[in-house]
Homo-oligomer: A and B are copies of this chain.
Amino acid sequence: MSSGLLRLGLQLRPDRLVSSHRAWRKHYTAQSGALEQAVAAFRSVSGDDGVSMGLAVREQHGRDESVHRCRPPDVVVFPRCVEEVSALAKICHHHRLPIITFGTGTGLEGGVGAVKGGVCFSLRKMDQVLDLHPEDFDVTVEPGVTHKVLNSYLRDTGLWFPVDPGADASLCGMAATSASGTNAVRYGTMRDNVLNLEVVMADGTIIHTAGKGRRPRKRAAGYNLTNLFVGSEGTLGILTKATLRLYGIPEGMASAVCSFPSVQAAVDSTVQVLQAGVPIARIEFLDDVMIGACNRFNSLSYPILPTLFLEFHGSSRSLEEQVSVTEEITRENGGSDFAWAEDEETRSRLWKARHDAWYAALALRPGCKAYSTDVCVPISCLPQVIVETKDDLIRSNLIGPIAGHVGDGNFHCFMVLNPDDPDEVRRVHEFTNRLARMALLVGGTCTGEHGVGLGKRALLREELCPQTMEVMQGLKATLDPKNLMNPGKIL
């Protein structure tokens, strides 16, 4: 963990983090022995192999794929079932120990950092797919199940779960961060695809947001707790089970690549495709820098131009029609002929290039680190925001290829930086703040899918008025009065 990385993580509000950490440390030391007592109790619940205090394990569970860093948790527990999670949470509650939930550690805004130390709940041992109901298009999973594991499990059912953030994240982790990804334009995000959640609250109570075992597709029965916990980033409770919507695997899929003379032409095409009612499954934008990086990393030879990666799902006749409408639109906007990928292998190669964007960006500067920032804006503002962002990158002397879910107005800058260059770290930090503020200025959000975590707490306060922040703080205080659930995140 280099000091440069630390700096980027903490620069957001170092004063606040450090002072609140000091206050907590004081309190924590005052309760000396609390941790030892708790660990003994954890062992009696989860056995010796269900509790780890080794530095390597703790460090591994104290960071995600972002550059945000803080101290690791004091101990990691590996519960095997919800009853164990509940028992462990009760111990934490009794001893006032923070709880940080850990899925796969593939988050991008420092959501699993143990700002105040405490206990990391790694849920990887709870990895069963439960209660598949193919005729009802739903399934219930334990928190250790990743979306790829679920889709392997579903292989012979004709069904799939389409939300795919790129990394093979756990489904409850994806629910916790309101993940989405390339398919969201057609299938929605986790907000649209979670039907019910089992949650262990701060005091160890187990609740089911839509009632135990319930899985109707629609509900109007009381407050929508499911969507309060989706996106709560572990700050309101521990997600221990998720009931998800499934979809029929489309009869056919076809993917294509199309280059454009300008960002505007690519985005105009996207808007027109959506207006024409084409049920496009994926429509991904890559800027010239990103395409260049992908070409190099994956030995491809796409023109170095603003580019759309497209995917169509449907029957062969429907595919034919979707493609013909889309081709007409892209041609009118000056797009190139489509480079096609219809068979599974070519399609996989194409989407691998898109999903490898992170590594392709990294390969632009070997030995450096990447930091992916994410904003979402009304789609009509996207060309202006992207063009200004590219200018800003040049002015700031930074490398930041751009890729995005353009159908949702959501895009990422893959910042590639030398973490040991304090000046560059500062410039990246300032640039990402400027980008977020530009998104806010045009009616967008500072994060469309990565979440707030550690990295965007200050920006969230700019996005929402103080009154709205107060409502969020009130909800947090009600559900977690001791502030034990992933403290220091979001708010």
Please report which residues of chain A, range 162-190, place their CB below 8 angstroms from some CB of chain B when the two chains form the complex. 177-180, 184, 188-189
Q: State in angstroms the CA–CA spacing of A188 and B138 once bound together.
A: 16
Are B472 and A223 in contact, with the CB atoms below 8 A? yes
* Residue A314 CB within 8 A of the other chain: yes
Q: Are B207's CB and A467's CB within 8 A? A: yes
B460 touches A221 (CB 8 A): yes
User: Considering residues A214, A228, A236, A276, which has the most beta carbons from chain B within 10 angstroms of its beta carbon?
Assistant: A214
The 8 Å CB contact of A228, one of B208, B224, B464, is B224
Residues of B within 8 A of A378 (CB): 133, 136, 138, 215-217
Query: Of B135, B201, B475, which is within 8 A of A380 by CB?
Result: B135
Distance in angstroms from A329 CB to nearest chain B CB is 13
Chain B's closest residue to A209 (CB) is: B468
A246, chain B: closest CB distance, angstroms: 10
Shortest Cβ distance from residue A209 to the other chain B in the assembled complex, whole angstroms: 7
Closest residue of B by beta carbon distance from A206: B467
The answer to whether A135 touches B271, judged by C-beta atoms less than 8 angstroms apart, is: yes
Interface residues as binary, A377-407 with B (CB distance below 8 Å gives 1, 0 otherwise): 1111000000000000000000000000100
Query: Is A158 part of the contact surface with B, judged by Cβ < 8 Å?
Result: yes
User: Are A248 and B277 within 8 A (Cβ)?
Assistant: yes
Partner of A184, one of B201, B213, B218, B440: B218
Identical copies of this chain, number: 2
In the complex the two chains form, is B445's CB within 8 Å of A219's CB?
A: yes
Q: With an 8 A cutoff between CB atoms, is A408 at the interface?
A: yes
A465 contact set on B, CB distance < 8 A = 207-208, 211-212
Chain B residues within 8 Å of A205, by CB: 467
Residues of the B chain whose Cβ atoms lie less than 8 Å from the Cβ of A476 = 223
Residue of B nearest to A219 (CB): B445
| Per-residue interface assignment for chain A, residues 301 to 314, with 1 indicating a CB less than 8 Å from any chain B CB and 0 otherwise | 00000000000011
Q: Which residues does chain B contribute within 8 Å of A231, judged by CB atoms?
A: 220, 222-224
- Contact present for B218 and A223 (CB under 8 Å): no
Alpha-carbon distance A227/B189, docked complex (angstroms): 14
**A220 partner, pick from B210, B271, B448, beta carbons under 8 A:** B448
**Chain B neighbourhood of A136, CB < 8 A:** 378-380, 409
Q: What are 19 A-B contacts with C-beta separation under 8 Å?
A: A158-B275, A191-B227, A205-B467, A211-B440, A216-B408, A216-B409, A216-B444, A218-B409, A219-B445, A220-B452, A221-B460, A222-B452, A222-B472, A222-B491, A225-B471, A227-B228, A248-B277, A318-B318, A475-B479
